[in-house]
Amino acid sequence: MKFKTTNSSFIFIVIFILSYVVPSRAQVDCDATTLEEFFECYGGTNQFSAHSVAAISTFIQAEDAIKTGDYQEAKSLVENLFETYPKGSSIWWSVTGDKDGANIGSPHAYYGLRMIEDIVDHHLNTPQDVATKTAKIKIVLVGCSKGIQPTTLNEMNSGTGTFVQNNLDQRLVENDYRIVYQSFDFMSRYITSITGGQLNIEVEIVELPDVCMDVAVTKDPLRATGSIQPVWDAFSDTIKEETDWWWILYPSHVPEFPEFDNSAFITGGMGLSQRGGPAFIIDDKWLSRKPAHLGKGAYSDIERRLYLPQWLQHEFFHHLYRLYPELDLEVDGHDWFNINFWPSDFEGQFEADYYAETLHKRLQLACTPLATKLITRVDHAKTEQITKLSIDELLGNYSRDPIDNPWHEADIIQQGNKYYWRNTANVQWEVIPNFEAGRLETTFDTPYPEQDFFIELYRTAEGDYVPGAVALNYGSDVYQKRFGLLRQSVPIEIAIGKYTRDPNSSPEHIGEIRKESGQLFWKDEAGEEWELSPNIEEEMLELNSVEPSEDASFELVIVEEECGLFVLGFKYKDHYYWKDKRDATNASPILINPLDDVQLDVDFMNHFINMDGVFEDAEGDELLYSVTSENNTLVSPEIEENMLTLKGGTPGNTTIRVAAVDHNGGLVSDEFKVTVGEPVATIELDGISVGFFPNPVQDNLFIMGDLTELDMRMYAMDGSIQGGFLLDSNEAQIDLSAYRSGIYFIRVIHKKSGKMILHKIVKY
């Protein structure tokens, strides 16, 4: 398969390959595909300790059960083994050596057994409705490698030898890549499991028969490796941008002569792709034959199944620790081999124990999920958000952490109609926005040719991008944006999203905050659209003066969690608008004890209501409270530390609405009526009581009762009709502020009986 050649760089970090050097043994070519055949190859089970036989047998039987979907059987097998031979105990040191050239892991099968614990736990306990993403891995089979190969130690020490060309071991290609798929299958299941089912692995095997790598043997360190640049150049930018992971298998250049029988050559490790994805790199014979320092002869299926998970997990966790540097799980490389490095809450003593402990006690609890970190291909959703930016909002200060020299701090500035990156060393070069490509491109004046600034957006804990730039990636450095950030940590664009007013009674009460070309907007479902201007200091979005409400604003409701800041809603015109829940599976709070209606005296000043026990959250989440009044001039409510305070004293009637929201955005509301002052007059009409107050009235007349059965009209003293009232509830509020002072009559008619009564109103 031939691919277009491109010029691109590839970052490769050689990581020490875990190995346990064993004495030289006789050549053993074992074709075993079953446990019985495997033990027969090596002289029977009596040649192994009872512990070793149990570990090997349990792993193979449990993996077979997993392949058939019998996760409970796999769980029972492993649990029974660890009852006899407790995980993390020193007893496992007795099964670290191999037998007669076999390679069955060290300790025997231990890595795979601990990985099975996670696989069965996921399948037996994870809900089935998990949203799943896909990581795409290309397993690349390189056609050849070439270079000087020593035949003796003297030649290696002097850097001499014979020029050879190594061709790909065809055992990797046979039977539709059988041993390649077999080698990765268990690891793929493990990754899906430790991500809680959020990440599936899509495997594609690619042959590059015409690509040849330059390789060499070095003494210090002991390596038989080479540059994989020709491999990288074989793929187009498009293919690389659509791939998350890589596994590159190239023809082995390890000298296989008697003097090297016990030499532990490094032939690969964990690399890093241009997009930051993991790149497993190893020679082809790592899958087909046992390296000299690990055993002798060709791998049997049983040995491959036992050992390859150990190597893949080792390299994979190098990458995981690199993804979460803030956790300090690997500082200087292989730190876990020093038990004193282990955190105090970790249990066990083996490398596989460290992986399990870091997984469950650190990595799976991190704010950004593993599944999100492990997808690195071009994200078109991210590109779509970047196109909503404008170059003007990228102006300002940036710096690298730590700042080691004046080149590590800079500003993006505007000069005329051009933009420049100028550092504190007073060196500048032009940057040209290309938002469709997600970058600021450099030109001929840059001191770093062919390096552009890649725009980094803020990403929520759920992995969603918002169109707010927080950093620029330049080469291998990240320059953090240092201005215009909400609370100096996140952009105000976290307010973007859909909101619904509580209560919601019209299309104007539902809308979204969005961003286009650097401008924020509010657009409701009634079709109205208003521009919004961020006020970072006061944490609000202000409506421009040309909008319907001059000097109005969206006052953001922000909560601070361990994993960042979140906008739950905003207050606008004495009403709250709320976002949908971030996590739909997190239960919303519920109303336990509804609030009773309140009757207060005129000029009551303050009235207190304890909110304890009114709302409850089943998951124990902290609750925030909001409160609004339909008439703030009548009763003004405040709520603080679970105490609701009503302030006022003007006679009348209003509705108070109290809401409780958890930090996930789950919402519950309750409302009650507040009546200030007794009704001045009450009439009875065919069994219906109707109250009118205040009387005399200056502005608003409140009417209370079963109004749905009544029809009302108001007349002036001369008998002219002043208005009709549409009554469809137990309460009406009539605005008389525009009426002249004087006496008016309200005629009340019972719709069914036709009975009528007149009630006098004095307007002053």
Q: Alpha-carbon distance 637 to 627, whole Å?
A: 7
- The whole-number average pLDDT for the span 3-18 is 36
**One-letter amino acid of 580:** D
Quick one: pLDDT band at residue 8, thresholds 50, 70, 90? very low
Q: How far apart are the first and last CA of the chain?
A: 93
**pLDDT value at position 170?**
96
Asked whether residue 165 carries a pLDDT value surpassing 50, the answer given is yes
Q: What tens digit of pLDDT does each residue of 456-489 get? A: 898 887 778 999 999 898 876 889 887 666 767 7
Q: Alpha-carbon distance 762 to 332, whole Å?
A: 86
**pLDDT value at position 2?**
35
Q: What tens digit of pLDDT does each residue of 695-747 get? A: 778 778 888 788 888 888 999 888 888 877 766 666 787 888 888 888 999 99
DSSP secondary structure, 278-339, as one string: EEEEEETHHHHB--TTT-SSBPPHHHHHHHHHHHHHHHHHHHHHHH-GGG-S-SSSSGGGSG
Asked whether residue 23 carries a pLDDT value surpassing 70, the answer given is no
Mean pLDDT of the chain: 89
Using an 8 Å Cβ cutoff, are 419 and 403 in contact? no
Peptide bond before 694: cis, by omega within 30 degrees of 0? yes
- The whole-number average pLDDT for the span 364-375 is 91
Q: Write phi, then psi, for 725 (nearest 5 degrees).
A: -120, 130
CA angle 498, 656, 693 (to 5 degrees): 135
Q: Alpha-carbon distance 31 to 22, whole Å?
A: 22
Tokens of 193: 């499991």
Residue with tokens 């609750």: 623
The residue ranges of DSSP E strands in 416-464, in sequence order, are 418-423, 428-434, 439-442, 453-459
Quick one: pLDDT band at residue 679, thresholds 50, 70, 90? low
Helix (H) or strand (E) holding 558, with range, is: strand 553-561
**pLDDT value at position 584?**
86
**One-letter amino acid of 596:** D
Q: Alpha-carbon distance 209 to 196, whole Å?
A: 38
Rounded to two decimals, the pTM is: 0.72
| DSSP one-letter code for 88 | T
Using an 8 Å Cβ cutoff, are 438 and 450 in contact? no
Using an 8 Å Cβ cutoff, are 733 and 701 in contact? yes
Asked whether residue 583 carries a pLDDT value surpassing 90, the answer given is no
**pLDDT value at position 486?**
72
DSSP secondary structure, 555-610, as one string: EEEEEEETTEEEEEEEEETTEEEEEPPS-TTSPPPEESSPPPPEEE-TT-EEEEEE
Using an 8 Å Cβ cutoff, are 197 and 134 in contact? no
Q: What tens digit of pLDDT does each residue of 386-399 get? A: 999 999 999 999 99
Using an 8 Å Cβ cutoff, are 287 and 180 in contact? yes
Asked whether residue 106 carries a pLDDT value surpassing 60, the answer given is yes
Peptide bond before 221: cis, by omega within 30 degrees of 0? yes
Tokens of 74: 């796999």
Using an 8 Å Cβ cutoff, are 254 and 283 in contact? yes
The proportion of the chain whose per-residue pLDDT surpasses 90, expressed as a percent, equals 64
**pLDDT value at position 360?**
98
Tokens of 679: 């009704």
Q: Alpha-carbon distance 608 to 645, whole Å?
A: 5
Q: Alpha-carbon distance 634 to 48, whole Å?
A: 88
Asked whether residue 7 carries a pLDDT value surpassing 60, the answer given is no
Per the DSSP assignment, residues forming a β-bridge with 216 are: 225
Could you give the dihedral angle defined by the CA atoms of residues 361, 363, 368 and 373, in that order, rounded to the nearest 10 degrees? -170
Percentages helix, strand, coil for the chain (3-state, rounded to 5) are 25, 35, 40
Asked whether residue 136 carries a pLDDT value surpassing 60, the answer given is yes
Quick one: pLDDT band at residue 67, thresholds 50, 70, 90? very high
Quick one: pLDDT band at residue 656, thresholds 50, 70, 90? very high
**pLDDT value at position 547?**
58
Contacts of 639 (CB under 8 A, 6+ apart): 611, 625, 626, 627, 645, 658
- The whole-number average pLDDT for the span 318-334 is 92
Residue with tokens 């875990």: 18
- For residue 218, what are the CA distances in angstroms to 135, 213, 266, 401, 724? 35, 16, 10, 35, 99
Peptide bond before 696: cis, by omega within 30 degrees of 0? yes
Using an 8 Å Cβ cutoff, are 564 and 367 in contact? yes
Contacts of 310 (CB under 8 A, 6+ apart): 18, 105, 106, 111, 112, 352
Helix (H) or strand (E) holding 722, with range, is: strand 721-725
Q: Alpha-carbon distance 120 to 112, whole Å?
A: 12
**pLDDT value at position 296?**
85
**One-letter amino acid of 640:** E
Using an 8 Å Cβ cutoff, are 668 and 615 in contact? yes
**pLDDT value at position 91?**
97
Q: Write phi, then psi, for 583 (nearest 5 degrees).
A: -115, 110
Taking Cα atoms as reference points, which of 664, 625, 629, 669 lies closest to residue 648?
629
- The whole-number average pLDDT for the span 642-666 is 90
- For residue 36, what are the CA distances in angstroms to 96, 290, 369? 21, 20, 42
Residue with tokens 């009564």: 757
Residue with tokens 């050879």: 164
DSSP secondary structure, 677-717, as one string: S--SEEEEETTEEEEEE-SSBSSEEEEEE-GGGEEEEEEET
Quick one: pLDDT band at residue 409, thresholds 50, 70, 90? very high
**pLDDT value at position 25?**
41
Tokens of 667: 């919402």
CB-neighbour burial class of residue 337 (10 A; exposed 0-12, middle 13-18, buried 19+):
exposed
Q: What tens digit of pLDDT does each residue of 447-456 get? A: 998 789 989 8
Q: Write phi, then psi, for 617 (nearest 5 degrees).
A: -110, 120
**pLDDT value at position 545?**
61
**pLDDT value at position 449?**
86
Helix (H) or strand (E) holding 635, with range, is: strand 635-640
| DSSP one-letter code for 68 | T
Using an 8 Å Cβ cutoff, are 474 and 446 in contact? no
**One-letter amino acid of 180:** V
Which of 46-55, 106-115, 150-159, 681-690 comes out lowest in average pLDDT? 681-690
Q: Which domains, from first to last, does the chain contain?
A: 35-372 (no CATH), 380-483 (2.40.128), 491-579 (2.40.128), 590-676 (2.60.40.10), 681-763 (2.60.40.3580)
| DSSP one-letter code for 449 | T
